[in-house]
Chain A
Amino acid sequence: MRFALLFRDFASNIHSKPLIRNRFIHKAFFHATRTILQTTESPPPAEGFLPGVEQSKFIKSTQEEALKNPELANTGVANGETKRMNMFQAINDAMGIALTTDETAVIFGEDVAFGGVFRCTLGLAEMFGKDRVFNTPLTEQGIVGFGIGMAAMGHTAIAEIQFADYIFPAFDQLVNEAAKYRYRSGGLFNVGGLTVRSPCSAVGHGGHYHSQSPEAYFTHTPGLIVVMPRGPIQAKGLLLASIRNRNPVIFFEPKILYRAAVEEVPVGDYELPLGKAEILKSGKDVTVVGYGSQLYTLERAIQLAEKDIPGLSCELIDLRSLLPWDVDTVANSVNKTGRLVISHEAPQTSGFAAEVATCIMERCFLRLEAPIQRVCGLDTPFPLVFEKFYVPDMTRCYDAIKEVVNY
């Protein structure tokens, strides 16, 4: 059915030969980024390649920066320890806390017992036992159905779908069952304890079935919560909130960030709010909206635009939750700036940007000074060798910002 093995190979390679592999990644990320990006002869790095993450101002690389986040103020970790973690480690940490604090919590999916093909469940089976962290047979509809059943008994089920591209066999269970469980029973039963985690989005060389961003299929489904973090601190806080939220949550993890994004992450138990956007950078002229790994591309596009157009100031918003999404924060921003650019990796037609654009048109019609711009993946399947032309890269985002400003 699929070629997950490809990624497993990469993962285990990295694991078994840390020096060689790390050196390669290090080099790729820190010293030769532009060259590799532009040299077609070089193969893409195994873990994918996302320019901008290391230089991002949104990455909290010191304890002070990490703890400055006002959302952590009331969480009990505000004055606590932090630890350097990449995103898979932060996710692993969140799940460890979830299992420690909730006896009913279990983790299951394909290949999670040995640590997962992306290492997110590393060590958890050893720590919590094989009855709490276990492999299932290779069946996505079975995994989600099984999770729904556990959650219907009031237990906490953390299911993993190995790649978001393979969530579609479970579409029926998610859309017809999980999402409607509470509503159709008149509130007698619910599956609020269900969280489905899944790696999503581009990775540099994932082709059709290791690259998709299927969030919009699910944001069309009342009853589900859909979340996508942009880095380790968020991933941990949002995942803990998702696991404990009393509604079924689909938690998409941009796989390109698993290793690329490294932050000082609070070691304690904390949650970040679902349904709330975060203003990453204040500005007055253009509102730029995105989520997940796309934010780093947007950040670079904004930097370039602000450099090229003296006096321009862009406001960048990370939606974090896509269902329900924080219309107020975006509308307030657009009422201030009068211009909106939305960007996501998924194809444009009926993508999530269409929802944002329509809601903002309804809420901010009199304040809009230019047509809303969508910078999205193309309306094609996600291609292999053409990835760089398919993704809404820095150039396209930069161009869209210039377009709305010059309209």
Chain B
Amino acid sequence: MNANISLRAVAKLHVKRASVFLINGRKFISTSRILYQEPIKNKNKEKVPFPGATGSYFTNELQFIQNIDPIPTYRVMDRQGKIADPSQDPQVSENFAVKIYKDMVTLNILDLILYDAQRQGRISFYMTNYGEEAYVGSAAGLNNEDVIFGQYREAGVLLYRGFALDEFMNQCYSNEKDSGKGRQMPVHYGSKKLNFQTISSPLATQIPQASGAAYALKRAGNKNCVMCYFGEGAASEGDFHAALNIAATMKCPVIFFCRNNGFAISTPALEQYKGDGIASRGIGYGIDTVRVDGNDVWAIYNVTKAARKLAVEENRPVLIEALTYRIGHHSTSDDSSAYRPKKEVEDWKRLDNPLVRLRKWLEDKNWWDENLEQEYRSSIRKEIISAFSKAEKLHKPSITELFNDVYDHPTPNIIAQRQKLKQLIEKYPKNYPLEKFKNEGKDL
């Protein structure tokens, strides 16, 4: 008997025992529950006494364990927006479903406009969310008090929570109304009121932070969880390993949401890892794991809701791997045609698009049609462009903000350096673009 067969047998056993996990009447299976059943199957074998793997048993058969069957991908809607298993229907209201769709469309148009703005040199940098719009569904599966740690391609989550178009624009323009005070590159959003921790560029650093934040929430006893997003490339960082291991050992209510879009800049997923994606690793950490169709907003919604339940009610970390395809370039500094054929991208855009899928689903329910589509697209476009122009006209923040917030209070040397800059710009005012900044440096 090889390992494949044995694990398959376990999976079968699981199904036979029908130990299902129900949320809103829908069936949900967590992989760790499958593993928990393994000792039952081997109950007649002699268990090892070693402290490092108490569930193991002795065998006289020398076998290396390689692949288990690939982890299946949970889906609710097919590419035509049809729900195959009615028991998996998300059972959402029209308003709710339309809001999600509208947010996805908004995100798409926001991306179009800001991407072009970067191409015209009006903002310094941008990253689109093309193909990953369905992650709005993950935000919808959370409570607004749940704390979010992101990577940088999660603008849809912010939109869903109510981050205003002005706020997106102000951040990308680094203007005086940017709550981040113009200090970080575009798309490094953050919002205290929306419980969205500010994005930072170093990949995966947010993952162990999310574990720690979740532990704090657990201690505070307020029945919230942490949601942590990252790409499949970031999962190769050591911080991913640290985070999942600590979350499991410390029983942190955190959901790790991996956006596996097939590429980390130019590196295809097949050069990123050799195992069964990211999901297979969750099992190794003893974490409830699920893989989901990342283009299916309802699958993401269902999975996130179920994960949240596990996290909050049982203090179990959960790993979600959402499979999708990065339709856009990595960023405005990247031309993805240098490493993948344009046709491939076009095919994805055309054949499996999260927006199209949800639209078809809505149209089947008569909750949406071409008129509403045109109307919404043109009105939101106007709103975005208006926010865009407003943000562009604003001053950059006061130059004083260069020196604030390094510490809670400026240190003596920071005060001295601010004085020095003040004297310098007074001496050489023409050498600096002072007029672009609020107060033109006079408040230094």
Contact = CB atoms under 8 A, between A and B. Distances in A.
Nearest to B202: A176
A149 B214 contact: yes
Interface in B123-176: 147, 149
A223 B406 contact: yes
B8 interface: no
A350 to B, nearest CB: 18
B239 interface: yes
Interface stretch (A130-138, A264-272, A283-291): A130-138
A144 B211 CA distance: 11
A155 B406 CA distance: 20
**In the complex, which of the residues B200, B216, B246 has the most CB atoms of chain A within 10 Å of its own CB atom?**
B216
B227 to A, nearest CB: 13
A177 B406 CA distance: 12
A189 B219 contact: no
A251 B176 CA distance: 36
B212 A149 contact: yes
A406 interface: no
Interface string B197-238: 110101001011111111111011000001000000000001
Interface size class of A (residues with CB under 8 A): 35 or more
Interface in A273-295: 275
A141 B208 contact: yes
Contacts of A104: 216, 219-220
Given A145-B207, A149-B215, A134 B413 contact: no
Interface string A186-218: 111110100000000000000000000000000
Nearest to B285: A137
Nearest to A223: B406
A181 B180 CA distance: 11
Interface stretch (B60-68, B181-189, B296-304, B385-393): B181-189
Interface in A154-199: 154-155, 157, 169, 172-173, 176-177, 180-190, 192
B321 interface: no
Contact of B188 (A155, A184, A223): A184
A185 B198 contact: yes
Given A139-B246, A157-B212, A327 B200 contact: no
A152 interface: yes
A247 B246 CA distance: 24
Nearest to B211: A146
A170 B314 CA distance: 30
B411 interface: yes
Nearest to A146: B212
Contact of B211 (A145, A172, A180): A145
B407 A142 contact: no
A147 interface: yes
A371 interface: no
Interface string A85-110: 00000000000000000001010000
A324 interface: yes
B11 interface: no
Contact of A141 (B191, B217, B238): B238
A171 B412 CA distance: 25
Given A146-B212, A173-B205, A327-B413, A182 B406 contact: yes
Nearest to A147: B212
B411 A148 contact: no
A148 B408 contact: no
Given A146-B208, A150-B213, A180-B200, A136 B412 contact: no
A205 to B, nearest CB: 30
A147 B242 CA distance: 12
B246 A153 contact: no
A388 to B, nearest CB: 36
Contact of B408 (A142, A176, A182): A182
Nearest to A157: B212
A247 B212 contact: no
B192 A188 contact: yes
Contacts of B406: 182-183, 222-223
A137 B249 contact: yes
A328 interface: yes
Contacts of B183: 183-184, 186
Given A131-B219, A180-B200, A188 B179 contact: yes
B104 to A, nearest CB: 26
A136 B249 contact: yes
B219 A155 contact: yes
A141 B181 CA distance: 28
A222 B245 CA distance: 30
A223 B212 contact: no
A246 interface: yes
Closest 6 pairs (CB-CB, A-B): A149-B212, A145-B208, A142-B242, A149-B209, A146-B212, A185-B198
Interface of A: 104, 106, 131, 134, 136-137, 139, 141-142, 144-155, 157, 169, 172-173, 176-177, 180-190, 192, 222-223, 225, 246-247, 275, 324, 327-328
Given A137-B245, A188-B198, 12 more contacts: A131-B219, A139-B241, A145-B205, A146-B209, A153-B147, A177-B202, A184-B183, A185-B179, A185-B180, A185-B197, A186-B181, A247-B407
29 contacts: A104-B219, A139-B246, A145-B205, A145-B208, A146-B209, A146-B212, A146-B215, A149-B208, A152-B212, A153-B147, A153-B212, A153-B216, A155-B216, A155-B219, A169-B238, A172-B202, A172-B205, A173-B205, A181-B198, A184-B180, A184-B188, A186-B178, A186-B181, A186-B183, A186-B190, A188-B191, A190-B408, A223-B406, A225-B407
